[in-house]
Amino acid sequence: MSGGRLANRYSLMQPLGSGGMGRVWLARDEMLDREVAVKELTLPEGLSPKERAELVTRAVREAQAMAQLRHPGIVALHDVVVEHDRPWIVMELLRGRTLGEAVQAHGPMPVEYVARIGADMLDALSAAHARGLQHRDVKPGNVFLTDSGRVVLTDFGIARQEGQATLTEQGMTIGSPGFIAPERLEGEAGGPASDVWSLGATLYLAVTGTAAYSGTAAERIRATLTQPLPVAPGPLGPLLAAMMAAHPAARPAAPAMIQPLRQAAAGLPAVLPVHHVPTAPRPVRRRHGPLLWLAAVAAVLVVAAAATAVVLILKNRDNGVPAAFTVPLNVCSLLGQEDVGLLLRTQQPPAGKASADELGPQCGWTTPGRGMEVQVQKDSDTRDPWAMSPESARTLFGNQHRYWAKNDRAQWIWPEIGVTKAQPVTRTPVRAIGGVGEEAFTYELKGPTGRMLSAVVFYRLANLVVSVEYTTLADRPSDDDIKQTALKAAQASERALLHAG
């Protein structure tokens, strides 16, 4: 198609490269008289007209979102055009070569230079993650080193859209084996922490000259899931090990790693984010709220702007359950002061403390020896819980059920109620329950002596997935009392959601 034109404006001059997701052209924007890069997105074969239209629409929507993100470390997206039954993405033209090409040509890079690349890329990822966007294919071939000295992340967000529906239906994972985070290889959608893992693997290649996991694609996938993490030599070793922790909750958030890498780039001793312990035992899920699930206590960015987000009812179905929740509501309003006082057994109920992590907004109520937490969750594809569909909520609920069914050990700390040192806990088997939501499951946590400490309830209501946790350090309540208190808290939060409409 050399010599063709798009939108009666972009003149395609010659191909610059191609891959499984499409072809990149050198083109000229005749309106602005400048050279640009145009990516021709390839859609999967065998799609129906409806499926093709849906994928084109999704690609255009993602490109529009990316066009609003301006950062020197992210390739600028100028325009999106739909012609010849497929989308074309118009981007700034970069001159230089990829990180992968540079390593292939010259071998391992100096530690300070790799650290600067990492800091620049984390700064770019932080900006995107703050807007709810993930890359999903961070790898040496997508880190571009320009002739002017810029380090630029390319193909940002595009891989997420290309053929996403069809690939997901076929159970495939978009990405490059060896640079795909383990949780995504296990079938989870992944989130910002998955990008951090992929960048860690990319920097490992840059500083050592070899990939962390090598071999065929199948061998790299198997190694990522089963083999110990290789540690890079030198000052970047601990930093990359933290970024590539097996469980996403054990990885520092992207913003927390920028300063340590800047220190390494300046030739100074690099200090990991406070409390991060990469050598701690088996990793488990951690949330930023009052109840901390630890393998390594990572520094997780709290998105304060999202802390008050839950939803109001859009419309009701015949059975009284809402069809969807769409309008923000303070999560701390899901348990009233009377409910909090009864559940925590105090005449002076504490005020709720709102926070948020990558799973969604949450609120915690604590007194000495007791605490509760409510969180409304979202998947990594959705910016806010109220943007979830019932279908995506069902998928998220199922993923949570499967995750907790296979992770039974953790370390636990909750300073606000008096647990100031991490202690090991075990989880009871996950089991389905009734009495709350449209579907629900529960499990409990037991301390080193076998005494029950916490009960956790997950339930789905329309397009929402809600988790409720209750903990007590008191010896008097029976195990059944703890279970029932958690269930009552979940039921109270459900009533608040329904009453809000």
Q: Is the pLDDT score of 290 beyond 80?
A: no
What are 19's strand-pairing partners?
Answer: 22
Q: CA-to-CA distance for 80 and 57, rounded, in angstroms?
A: 11
Q: What integer pLDDT is reported at residue 3 of this predicted model?
A: 58
Give, in degrees to the nearest 5, the angle at Cα 379 between 375 and 382.
105
**Mapping DSSP to helix (H, G, I), strand (E, B) and coil, where does residue 16 land?**
strand
Between the CA of residue 247 and those of 197, 295, 500, what are the distances in Å?
10, 9, 36
Lookup: tokens for 158: 């595009």
Give, in degrees to the nearest 5, the angle at Cα 453 between 451 and 459.
130
Distance of CA 242 to the CA centre of its chain: 16
Q: What integer pLDDT is reported at residue 130 of this predicted model?
A: 87
pTM for this prediction:
0.56
Q: Is the pLDDT score of 116 beyond 80?
A: yes
**Residue (of 366, 371, 436, 441) closest to 403 by Cα position:** 441
Q: What is the pLDDT of residues 477-493, one digit of tens each?
A: 899 999 999 999 999 99
Burial of 354 (0-12, 13-18, 19+ CB in 10 A): buried
Q: Is the pLDDT score of 148 beyond 60?
A: yes
**Mapping DSSP to helix (H, G, I), strand (E, B) and coil, where does residue 76 land?**
coil
Lookup: tokens for 473: 């350090």
What's the rounded mean pLDDT across residues 60-89?
85
Lowest mean pLDDT segment, chosen from 32-36, 72-76, 416-420: 416-420
Lookup: tokens for 170: 């076929």
Q: CA-to-CA distance for 253 and 288, rounded, in angstroms?
A: 11
Q: Is 488 annotated as a binding residue?
A: no
Q: CA-to-CA distance for 420 and 412, rounded, in angstroms?
A: 9
List the catalytic residues.
Answer: 137
Q: What integer pLDDT is reported at residue 287 of this predicted model?
A: 34
Give, in degrees to the nearest 5, the angle at Cα 312 between 164 and 454.
80
**Residue (of 400, 330, 320, 391) closest to 359 by Cα position:** 400
**Residue (of 226, 227, 234, 255) closest to 243 by Cα position:** 255
Q: What integer pLDDT is reported at residue 315 of this predicted model?
A: 34
Average pLDDT, the chain: 82
- The H or E element containing residue 341 is helix 337-344
What's the rounded mean pLDDT across residues 165-174?
39
Distance of CA 477 to the CA centre of its chain: 37
Kindly indicate the confidence band of residue 174, based on its pLDDT and cuts at 50, 70 and 90. Answer: low
Q: Quick check: 239 and 201 in contact, CB under 8 A?
A: no
Residue with the bigger pLDDT between 372 and 69: it is 372
Give, in degrees to the nearest 5, the angle at Cα 157 between 153 and 158.
105
Q: Is the pLDDT score of 471 beyond 90?
A: yes
> E strands of 20-52, at which residues?
22-29, 34-41
SS (H, E, C) 242-302: HHCCCCHHHCCCHHHHHHHHHHHHCCCCCCCCCCCCCCCCCCCCCCCCCCEEECCCCCCCC
Kindly indicate the confidence band of residue 243, based on its pLDDT and cuts at 50, 70 and 90. Answer: very high
Q: CA-to-CA distance for 374 and 465, rounded, in angstroms?
A: 11
Q: CA-to-CA distance for 175 and 268, rounded, in angstroms?
A: 34
Residue with the bigger pLDDT between 92 and 381: it is 92
- The H or E element containing residue 357 is strand 353-357
Q: What integer pLDDT is reported at residue 501 of this predicted model?
A: 52
What are 398's strand-pairing partners?
Answer: none
Q: CA-to-CA distance for 295 and 297, rounded, in angstroms?
A: 6
**Residue (of 118, 152, 154, 157) closest to 134 by Cα position:** 157
Quote the longest CA-to-CA distance of the chain: 80
Q: Is the pLDDT score of 304 beyond 50?
A: no
Q: What integer pLDDT is reported at residue 274 of this predicted model?
A: 58
Q: Quick check: 388 and 314 in contact, CB under 8 A?
A: no
Q: What is the DSSP letter of 447?
A: -
Lookup: tokens for 316: 């009701």
What's the rounded mean pLDDT across residues 319-338?
79
Lowest mean pLDDT segment, chosen from 144-148, 309-313, 454-458: 309-313
- The H or E element containing residue 240 is helix 236-243
Between the CA of residue 448 and those of 173, 286, 409, what are the distances in Å?
39, 19, 11
Kindly indicate the confidence band of residue 320, based on its pLDDT and cuts at 50, 70 and 90. Answer: low
Q: What is the pLDDT of residues 389-406, one digit of tens each?
A: 888 899 999 989 988 888
What's the rounded mean pLDDT across residues 189-215?
95
Q: CA-to-CA distance for 262 and 65, rounded, in angstroms?
A: 29
